[in-house]
Amino acid sequence: MVVAYEVVRGGLYAEVRRALKSDAAVVANLYNSGEGSASTTLSGPTGGVVLQVYDPSGHLLVASRPEFERAEMALPAADVISGMGVPTSWSGTIGGKKMEAALAPFELGVVAVLTDPSYIGALLTDLSRNLLVAAVLLVVVSLLVGYAVAAASLRPLTRLARLASTLGPERLDVIEYDGPRDEIGRLTAALNGLVGRLREALDSQRVFFAETSHELRTPLTSLRGFLDRAVRRTTPEARDDLMDAQRVAGSMARLVEDLLQLSRGELIVDPNPHLVELRSDVLVHVADEFPGVAVTGGLPALVLGDPQRLMQLVRNLTANAVRAASGPEGVVLGLEVLGAEAVVSVTDDGPGIAPESLERIFEKFYKGPGGGSGLGLAIARQVAERHHGSIEVSSRPGATVFRVRLPLADADEDD
């Protein structure tokens, strides 16, 4: 915009000086020939000019307008004398007014043609205003066009990011891309290659878990049978040691079962729903597996679900609580009915869970300070979600509470 302003400004002043020189030459020729009239020959750059005649010594003799015959309106004598040789241009201030002039010599002295260039300032003011408006419009249009171009160019990348955000351990699908083989195409191909390798790794992991768990289940089942028979036949002095071995074997069997379920990917492929009374069918049986664990809450709470999976859910929570508590006596299984939900709580008096671990304890293979396989809580959450429920935890030193919310069975389900 500044360059355009300066170009136009220079062009206007150049045109004024050119016109003045031409007029000065015309007047000088008229004075030399003695024929014609300046008033009918000159037009000037603004439709009118002022003529001044000077003698060879630079003194003002006469002017076309009376106000320009005053001494203060005369051009400097030195500049007039310099115009005696060749036509010249002059710019300056006379009588407090900026003027442009051209001087040309003739036989008796020098003729000067003057004009007021103030109209150029008005033109330049309008021009600068128009240029500013045009610049603002150009900037706005450029921003809109740039935004549209950027949005169009980033649209494939945005789509790729949206599809990539939907990927996860349970969903490793190939991302479809039918565009050109550009940077987005190469990035999509690289991401699909990574997804493929992850899927192969997870499949290999599931196969390993399935084969390993199947191989371990048979000897563990036999071991537990031998231990049960030994407990029945042994002397009272050795019964405590054998019962400890039974509990260890039971923990190993549950770990193997967890690995087997993990290898299947889905915890419950074919649900087996029953009407389950949570206290008598679940909590009491789990408490019997952990001597010392107490059960509170006597209200009946019927839910529609798989009794084995619900027992596994509570068993996993109880096993973690017993491991964290000062002893089985510090663990309490509770049951209450809140509106249309049954709330099962597992409370322990352990040291609590660190705040940074609360957000991750339900992730597969995440092990807290208490140890374990890192699968129990992940499976518990899956069971709760499969039964249209939820699981939450609150913890502080001396009181950690896991709450499982399950929808109660309604009348239609009872029928």
Q: Looking at the structure, do residues 24 and 99 belong to the same domain, yes or no?
A: yes
| Joined tokens for residue 326 | 């000062």
Residues 227 and 310 in one domain: no
End residue of a domain, out of 209, 231, 264: 264
Domain assignment of residue 28, yes or no: yes
CATH code of residue 9: 3.30.450.20
With respect to residue 361, please indicate whether it lies within any of the assigned structural domains. yes
Rounded distance between C-alpha atoms, residue 262 and residue 371, angstroms: 19
Query: 37-46, 93-102, 349-358, 379-388 — which is least confidently predicted?
Result: 37-46
Query: Which conformational region is residue 372 in: left (phi greater than 0), alpha (psi within -120 to 50 degrees), or beta?
Result: left
Cβ pair 75, 97 in contact under 8 A: no
* Same domain membership, residue 328 and residue 294: yes
Confidence band, pLDDT 50/70/90 cuts, at residue 119 = confident
- When comparing pLDDT for 125 and 391, which is higher? 391
Identify whether 177 is part of a domain.
no
Query: CB-based contacts of 167: which residues, under 8 Å, 6+ apart?
Result: 173, 195
Residue 130 lies in a domain: no
**258 shares a domain with 201:** yes
Q: Choose one of 232, 264, 296: the last residue of a domain.
A: 264
Same domain, 278 and 402: yes
| Per-residue pLDDT at 123 | 81
CATH number of the domain bearing residue 409: 3.30.565.10
| Confidence (pLDDT) at 88 | 86
Per-residue HEC secondary structure of 101-118 comes to EEEEEECCEEEEEEECCH
304 occurs within a structural domain: yes
Domain shared by 254 and 304, yes or no: no
Mean pLDDT of 196-214: 78
Question: Does pLDDT of 59 surpass 60?
Answer: yes
Q: Which two tokens stand for residue 97?
A: 């007014």
Mean pLDDT of 248-255: 74
pLDDT band at 34 (very low <50, low <70, confident <90, very high): low
Q: What is the pLDDT of residue 262?
A: 64
Domains in the chain, number = 3
Cβ atoms of residues 102 and 120 within 8 Å = no
* pLDDT at residue 394 in the model: 92
Average pLDDT over residues 366-384: 75
C-alpha closest to that of 400 among 329, 334, 352 = 352
Same domain, 98 and 64: yes
What value does the mean pLDDT take over residues 198-220?
78
Q: What is the pLDDT of residue 372?
A: 57
Residue 141 within any structural domain of the chain: no
More confident residue, 362 or 254: 362
Question: What's the pLDDT score for residue 1?
Answer: 66
Residues 220 and 285 in one domain: no
CATH code: domain of residue 259: 1.10.287.130
- What gap in Å lies between CA 399 and CA 98, rounded to an integer? 93
Query: Which stretch, 33-37, 111-115, 168-172, has highest mean pLDDT?
Result: 111-115
Residue pLDDT, tens place only, 312-352: 899 989 988 998 888 888 999 999 999 899 999 999 998 88
Same domain for 387 and 364? yes
> Cβ contacts of residue 106 below 8 Å, gap of 6+?
27, 28, 29, 31, 32
Tokens describing residue 195:
């997804």
Q: Is there a single domain that holds both residue 17 and residue 74?
A: yes
Q: What does the pLDDT average to over 350-375?
A: 76
Mean pLDDT along residues 165-193? 80
Is 50 exceeded by the pLDDT of residue 263?
Answer: yes
Residues 6+ apart with CB under 8 A from 169: 202, 364
Higher per-residue pLDDT: 406 or 222:
406
Shared-domain flag, residues 255 and 280: no
- The boundaries of the domain holding residue 374 are 274-414
What's the pLDDT score for residue 242? Answer: 83
Res. 162: pLDDT tops 60: yes
Specify if 170 maps to a domain. Answer: no
pTM of the model: 0.47
Strand order in the sheet with 390-396: 294-295, 331-338, 341-348, 399-407, 390-396
Q: Which of 95, 122, 149 is the last residue of a domain?
A: 122
**169 in a structural domain:** no
Residues 179-202: what's their mean pLDDT? 84
- Please choose, from the candidates 98, 79, 67, 85, the residue with its C-alpha nearest in 3D space to the C-alpha of residue 28: 85
Q: Do 214 and 321 belong to one domain? A: no
